[in-house]
Structure 1
Amino acid sequence: MRDLATFLGDYGESHRHPINQWVHIVCVPVIFFSTLGLFWLIPIGHWLGLDGAAAYWVNGGTLLALLCMPFYLRLSLGVSLLMLGWLLVSMALIVALDRGPLPLGWTALTLWLVAWAVQVWGHKVEGKKPSFVDDLVFLLVGPIFVSLEVRYKLGFSRTPGHGRPS
């Protein structure tokens, strides 16, 4: 399996344009959250006959998270902790939205569609197709890239998300 530097370098090849980078900084977290939110609606716990809190927390979103974490752990402990943070923040937002006045399903679907439309536009500006078109694993690399890119843009790192100094 490729290492983190290789993934980031390959991902960065189609994310060099500053507009596309900012599009990703905004839209990747929205896509991450809304995808998890849509999977959250799959009631696996209920299907398994669980009740109460167990039924609520055993769902497609938590299953998706569990399936993705070994990939991040394989890259590094730091990456897995970073992505655990993404998951925990997203789950907190999902639970808050699920218990609030807006319907989780429609809200997540709307955010997901809008964010993907903006991402497509960002790649049109970039002039390159999204990395995941050639390899779906890049859907898991995007949040790592965004995290590193934000750190770089805020001045906390000398290396941008793609791993190559500017």
Structure 2
Amino acid sequence: MRNMQQWFDEYGHSHQNPTNKLIHWICVPVIFFSIVGLLASIPSDSIKMMFPPQLQPFVHFGTVVVLLGLLFYLRLSFTMFLGMALVSGLVLLGVRALEEWGTLPLWATCLLLFVLAWIGQFYGHKVEGKKPSFFKDLQFLLIGPAWLLGFIYRKLGIPY
């Protein structure tokens, strides 16, 4: 099993170009957000009713996928798990806010964001001249957000 640094090193091979890196700083969080939002849009009212009213807005398939993703990070690094838990919590709050105050239905906004962000990602990889890492291994879809967080951790001197 690869450790966090090994994942980052391999992911970094196809993310050297400054333009591609900048695009990833924008598009990876947008894709993460939009996937959680799209999954939150799937009706789950019968499941929500089993939870207290304060938690019901966060009981959806997006939360389930976030929790599964957090298990992936926990296997690799406790500090990365903590950081991604914080990021994921902010994403869940953002999805809730967009659902409550957005002008379009949540699914429509998230679908538009998802498509635009993937267009950006593929443009970045065209500039880079290398295929996206997830073509080699789908687990790299989970590494992208952690790779960005890894830059922040290094700036702050937080080991992962």
TM-score of the two chains, using structure 2 as the length reference: 0.88
SS, match of residue 19 in structure 2: helix
Match of residue 136 from structure 2: 134
- In the alignment, which residue of structure 2 is the partner of 1:50? 49
Q: Alpha-carbon deviation of 1:70?
A: 0.9
Q: What stretches of structure 2 of length at least 5 have no aligned partner?
A: none
Distance 2:55 2:150 in 1: 35
Structure 1: unaligned runs, 5 residues or longer: 159-166
Q: Report the equivalent of 2:99.
A: 98
Letter matched to residue 78 of structure 1: T
Deviates more, 1:22-31 or 1:57-66: 57-66
The number of residues matched between the two structures is 154
Q: Distance in 2 between matches of 1:82 and 1:49?
A: 27
Contact 2:58 2:92 in 1 (8 A): no
Q: Report what 1:163 is aligned to.
A: none
Contact 1:73 1:80 survives alignment (8 Å): yes
**Which AA in structure 1 matches 2:47?**
L
Percent identical across equivalent pairs? 40
Aligned to 2:23: 23
Provide the aligned C-alpha RMSD in A: 1.9
Of 122, 125, 128, 1:123 maps to 125
> Does the 8 Å CA contact 1:43/1:55 hold for their aligned counterparts?
no
Per-residue displacement from partner, 1:96-117 (whole Å, max 9, x unpaired)?
Answer: 1111142211111101100000
User: What is the CA distance between 1:55 and its match in structure 2?
Assistant: 4.4
Q: Deviations over 1:13-38 (max 9, x none)?
A: 10011110000011111111111110
Decide whether aligned partners of structure 1 residues 69 and 89 sit closer, same or farther in structure 2, where only a CA change above 3 A counts: same
Q: Which residue of 1 aligns with 2:86?
A: 85
**1:104-115 pair list within 5 angstroms:** 104-115=106-117
Partner of 2:69: 68
* C-alpha spacing 1:88/1:54, structure 2 compared with 1 (3 Å): closer
**Is contact 1:23–1:122 with CA below 8 Å preserved after alignment?**
yes
2:153 & 2:127 partners in 1: Cα distance?
A: 23
Separation in 1 of the partners of 2:151 and 2:58?
Answer: 32
Q: Distance in 1 between matches of 2:92 and 2:78?
A: 21
Aligned equivalent of 1:161? none
Residue deviations 1:52-77 (CA, integer Å, cap 9, x gap): 55543221101111111111001111
